[in-house]
Chain A
């Protein structure tokens, strides 16, 4: 398909095919996420933490990177990011079911602790913002080896209050490293609303203190996200250093499967958030651009459902890790 002038994605140099691929990844992320909740509620997996509402921010950002070349140091909500970077639905379910073949941790970590060495997706822990210095160090190490790569790391706005966030941004700013720090602001840190988390208006405002651009973007607008990340990637590749990007998102679920957001979040607010659902607005865009109609949408939904059905059934049937495996990989093995 050709690039179309006159459309927003065309202006960004995205072919119709690539635009539809973006939507496919957003849809895949949402439907996978929904399936994980179902599996959790039916007692088949212990835990789920959602990307719902942040698909535009994640898919738009990851589309600006070069898969298999650039590095990603994700956080627990980054399902969309890791799918775009190369992780498959089968692998997501292996991780969720904690099966032996789980490429993220061999069944050791709680679900949503993404890692995949082959795709340069780096293992994370549960303490938040610890991954930001890692991203900076990866950029430093790569530069020392003469590799022109970009490192994307992500976190929530609550985590941007941690010391590691500030230490890492300062380090990246001083050394002008090719890092993009993506704060996916969904307005809640578990139950604590934004006004109790930040004394400034935007997380991105903090960038000035670290000598880098700070960009605020509407995370529900996948094309605008893609545009600002593409700029940041180009900047990083030119050797001009890091960028802090804050995407403003909605959180459409509770913090996790262990949380009940009815205790702290007005239902009207959640309804308002649903009206900004990035999946719905992108779908609307595709209809208006003539890339999607009811028949094609059904075809796409069916395809995604088949993929998820197949992947979930396959992963559930895989073996658990052996008890002996528990003692492996504490140190390098001979």
Chain B
């Protein structure tokens, strides 16, 4: 099987889908000749022209709002927000409009659009090029939220997102764009949105994560395996809908649960996963549910030591795993 970078998986999936379905088009700042600031759309304008690879004015609300309008006519816009940090001007369009269009029109109007946004830190991006924004959107019914961690998952999930008849937020951790590589089968496979993936089986503790920290968890699991701790690592992949069945089964399997994400903990995805487990499989647990998340400060500082202190790492995760296993 060919090996692909995460960013290549994004680009090739966009290309495949634009070839497959002429309703699919991309729109955003710098997506044309520049190919996106991360080069996710590089070369697409040569093949599909500037009518289907639209460089927009610098206007996040219009990128989403115009995308909604195009989707209402049956098109399949893939809108890029250059950094997830800049998504806030489009918040009203996403929450008040895209998420509610189907509901408020009693099923008559719907918005088959994808909003792609690079998120996350550890790339010297400071406060406004490092944020994790997923929890803000996960609170809203009507949206689907996907965070892939491998090129394989990008291919399968982005295809599903583009073909979905509801609005999907597709968050790509920018720290994975060139760091994550992996085998990707040829052919038109999809991964259903709403399905978690057991990336590593284990019997002592269960760790839930997504995005870049998922890789930290896998590395940490390797480390603690040498110490006799068998860690199961589950990639949530889809934050809304959450795969409740897989989460509950995985939690019950070991009875010890750790949730790891880069976003801060308060009211975050981990809080929801923990509540779900507490409500449904409390008596299967052998330890309190633990969380390891970003610190409770507004955003990531620029200074290298401060950024390092903010970010999780395999070592930090391994330490928490040991604590949980010893409980």
Contact = CB atoms under 8 A, between A and B. Distances in A.
Given A105-B104, A115-B109, A134 B97 contact: yes
A167 B59 contact: yes
A259 to B, nearest CB: 22
Given A171-B57, A171-B66, A141 B72 contact: yes
Q: Which of A134, A135, A164 has the most CB of B within 10 A?
A: A134
B92 interface: yes
Interface string B200-240: 00000000000000000000000000000000000000000
Q: Which of A73, A108, A133, A138 has the most CB of B within 10 A?
A: A133
A141 B103 contact: no
Interface in B49-91: 51-52, 56-57, 59, 61-62, 64-75, 77, 89
Given A133-B93, A171-B57, A140 B70 contact: yes
Contacts of B107: 106, 328-329, 333
A136 interface: yes
Contacts of A107: 106
Contacts, number: 140
A123 B92 contact: no
A331 interface: yes
B101 interface: yes
A113 B105 CA distance: 10
Nearest to A151: B69
B130 to A, nearest CB: 25
B104 A133 contact: no
B141 interface: yes
Given A329-B103, A332-B165, A145 B93 contact: no
A164 B73 contact: no
Nearest to A100: B106
Interface string A158-186: 00000110011011001000000000000
A288 B25 CA distance: 55
B159 interface: no
Interface size class, chain A: 35 or more
Given A105-B104, A123-B105, A171 B56 contact: yes
B207 to A, nearest CB: 29
B89 to A, nearest CB: 7
A145 B25 CA distance: 12
B75 A133 contact: no
B110 interface: yes
B102 interface: yes
B93 A142 contact: no
Contacts of A331: 102, 142, 144, 166
Interface in A110-164: 113, 115, 117, 122-123, 125, 127, 130, 132-142, 144-145, 163-164
B100 A125 contact: yes
A105 B64 CA distance: 23
A123 B109 contact: yes
B166 A332 contact: yes
A52 interface: no
Given A125-B96, A330-B141, A144 B61 contact: no
A171 B102 contact: no
B62 A108 contact: no
Contacts of B165: 332
Nearest to A109: B104
Contact of B68 (A106, A113, A133, A139): A133
A141 B71 contact: yes
B245 interface: no
Contact of A123 (B64, B70, B108, B164): B108
A138 B166 contact: no
A132 B103 CA distance: 20
A141 B66 CA distance: 9
A104 interface: yes
A135 B102 contact: no
Given A115-B108, A133-B62, A332-B110, A141 B69 contact: yes
Contacts of A125: 96-97, 100, 104
Contact of B75 (A105, A136, A145, A174): A145
Q: Which of B61, B69, B144 has the most CB of A within 10 A?
A: B69
B58 to A, nearest CB: 9
A171 B96 contact: no
A130 B96 contact: yes
A130 B92 contact: yes
A302 to B, nearest CB: 34
Interface in B124-149: 141-142, 144
Contacts of A171: 56-57, 59, 62, 66
Q: Which of A137, A168, A171 has the most CB of B within 10 A?
A: A137
A132 B25 CA distance: 21
B59 A123 contact: no
25 contacts: A105-B106, A108-B104, A109-B104, A115-B108, A123-B101, A123-B105, A125-B100, A130-B97, A133-B62, A133-B66, A134-B68, A134-B72, A137-B77, A138-B70, A138-B73, A140-B69, A140-B70, A141-B75, A144-B25, A163-B61, A164-B65, A164-B93, A328-B107, A330-B102, A331-B144
Given A133-B64, A144-B51, A331-B102, 12 more contacts: A103-B108, A105-B104, A117-B108, A117-B109, A130-B97, A140-B66, A140-B70, A144-B52, A144-B70, A329-B105, A332-B102, A332-B110
Interface of A: 73, 102-109, 113, 115, 117, 122-123, 125, 127, 130, 132-142, 144-145, 163-164, 167-168, 170-171, 174, 328-333
Query: What are the 7 closest A-B residue pairs judged by CB atoms, nearest first?
Result: A137-B69, A133-B65, A106-B106, A141-B73, A141-B70, A167-B62, A137-B66
